[in-house]
Amino acid sequence: MSPRPRDALGCILLLSLGSVSPVSAQEADVVLFSGRIWTGSETGSPAPTAVAIADGRILAVGSDHDVVRFVGPPTRRIDLEGRRIVPGLMDAHTHFIEGGFELAGVQLRDAATPQEFVRRIAAFAAAHPDGWVTGGTWDHELWGGELPRRDWIDSITPATPVFVSRLDGHMGLANTAALEVAGVTADTPDPDGGAIVRHEDGRPTGILKDAAMGLVSRVIPARSEPELDRALQAALAHAVERGVTAITDMGTWEGHETYQRAYARGELPIRVYSVLPIGQWRRVAEYVEHEGRGDTQLFWGGVKGFVDGSLGSTTAWFYDPYADAPHTTGLMVTDTAELRQAIIGADAAGLQLIVHAIGDRANDWLLDAFATARERNGPRKRRSRIEHAQHLTAGAIQRMAADDVIPSMQPYHAIDDGRWAARRIGPERIRTTYAFRDLQDAGARLAFGSDWTVAPLDPLSGIYAAVTRRTTDGANPDGWVPEQKITVEEALVAYTANAAYAAFLEHELGTLAPGRLADLVVLSDDILAIEPTEIARVRVDLTMVNGTIVFERER
């Protein structure tokens, strides 16, 4: 019986070992062969099939015959059997440690009815009677758009405080026990940048939006270091299984210290860009001055701020009122003068600006603020980022490209929000909602992420979303606002080279080439060859960071 083609290639690799001279080439720690490699910088044909790795870096990428000279007795040889390799997938926007806690909290993301919402909270409270019920990521649009109320759950949680957030993190439901602990009553005023949703008589319904969420979150007991460490490890295991080799975490000092502990113990298998709050930019600048900016495994130097809220919570800031809430145009959740001064000050200190803006007015305001910082502080390579950049004017799309402002976007949001976004803002404004194609064609560098826990930590789901724009309810089989679709390769670039650029790592990561850090992912199917609608079923078979396998699926 003659060998299959992949076995024949494997035989070539093994039989050639005898001809390898110990001085002709550095011996590889690992060689992956008989695959289909997308390097991220394709320049010709034939496409490479093998990659050799040593000391955490790529030695060679080429044909099996090209790479065989790097094989020695200790080399691990992995037969890819025709599978696709891509550079490590980088998630440019996460709430990572919160995601770890979310994995252990009550799960409401797919609770499709008020009854199921209540049932899950009741079950979780019964199983955890001694603490708060948190987590959730509920989506009221699944049951028609009615916001939950505290009276739905008060009878099942009379003594257990509950505070469960909507999936976008811009509003949450508190039960009466939680409101009492927080001291929130009918007489409590709305805080700046937030809203307490009330009954007609002024009593809180339990829904708190944006800054009002802090009224309750500030009284939730602080997490211990062991709890934070466990949450991080849960999130890391979740990430590597999905091919995530690097993240940008929109975090806190508490989270930053958690990453440092993990790194010191050798328990940080992926790369982390630890972004800190823009309101504390002076502390961040001082920290950078004394501690530097870290290394390629754990690094910092960016600050995160907020202009507005979210579309789902009707707190994204628009020029025109909401179609389904004509009394509001959304919220500026941070004082404009304070945020502008923080942007200018942080920029002057050399920190990267990473700011949330969703509504069209919020995005225009932020582009103006970035322009002011450039004028005040002079030229340099800033790579300022707008996180989400969801709803844009035509002028904003062109400005992002011209000013090298990075639209850091989360494509899964398009197929999630697309179920109901037209009800919120009408048929015209949705035409430049998640405007991937327009931004791509304008020359902007799209950097993709998930916004986990708002959306799944799963780059393959994000690629599927960007390419198909099929909403999760199945109502748009040809794509929601289909003219904004991009190609699989363009989406891959946004998760690799552009995500690396957005974190100042483009000289080390984002493409597979000799000398680069050996971060890569092996996929179960070739996403560049199958129908885009089939990408949703593709799985990660192997994840490698620094040349070390951090996840390998049993086959």
- DSSP H/E element including 100: helix 96-104
CA distance 199 to 176: 14
User: What global pTM score does this model have?
Assistant: 0.86
pLDDT in tens, 423-474: 999 999 999 999 999 999 999 999 999 999 989 999 999 999 999 999 999 9
**Cα R_g (the chain), whole angstroms:** 24
CA distance 410 to 387: 9
Residue 103: per-residue pLDDT: 87
- DSSP H/E element including 136: strand 133-138
**What does the block give as tokens for 96?**
């990572």
Angle 220-224-225 from CA coordinates, rounded to 5°: 145
Per-residue pLDDT averaged across 500-504, rounded? 98
Which residue is associated with the tokens 């037209």? 422
Per-residue pLDDT averaged across 54-69, rounded? 96
Task: Kindly report the backbone phi and psi dihedral angles of residue 415, in degrees, each rounded to the nearest multiple of 5, phi listed first.
Answer: -85, -10
Of 59, 91, 107, residue with least CA distance to 240: 91
**What does the block give as tokens for 542?**
């192997």
Q: Is the pLDDT score of 555 beyond 90?
A: no
Averaged pLDDT of the chain: 93
Contact indicator for 359, 317 with CB cutoff of 8 Å: yes
Residue 25: per-residue pLDDT: 66
Least confident of 131-145, 477-491, 536-550: 131-145
The percentage of residues in the chain with a pLDDT greater than 70, rounded to a whole number, is: 95
Q: What does the buried/exposed string (b/e) look like for 421-451 if buried means 16 or more CB atoms within 10 Å of the residue's CB?
A: bbebbeeebbebbbbbbbbbebebbbbbbbb
Contact indicator for 263, 298 with CB cutoff of 8 Å: yes
**Contacts of 298 by beta carbon, 8 Å cutoff, 6+ apart:** 259, 260, 263, 268, 271, 272, 274
- Judged by DSSP in three states, 90 sits in strand
Contact indicator for 72, 30 with CB cutoff of 8 Å: no
- Judged by DSSP in three states, 370 sits in helix
pLDDT in tens, 2-22: 333 334 434 444 434 333 333
CA dihedral (113, 97, 307, 106) in degrees, to 10, reads: 20
Residues in the chain: 555
All domains in the chain, ordered by first residue: 5-82 (2.30.40.10), 132-217 (3.10.310.70), 225-549 (3.20.20.140)
Angle 464-469-471 from CA coordinates, rounded to 5°: 100
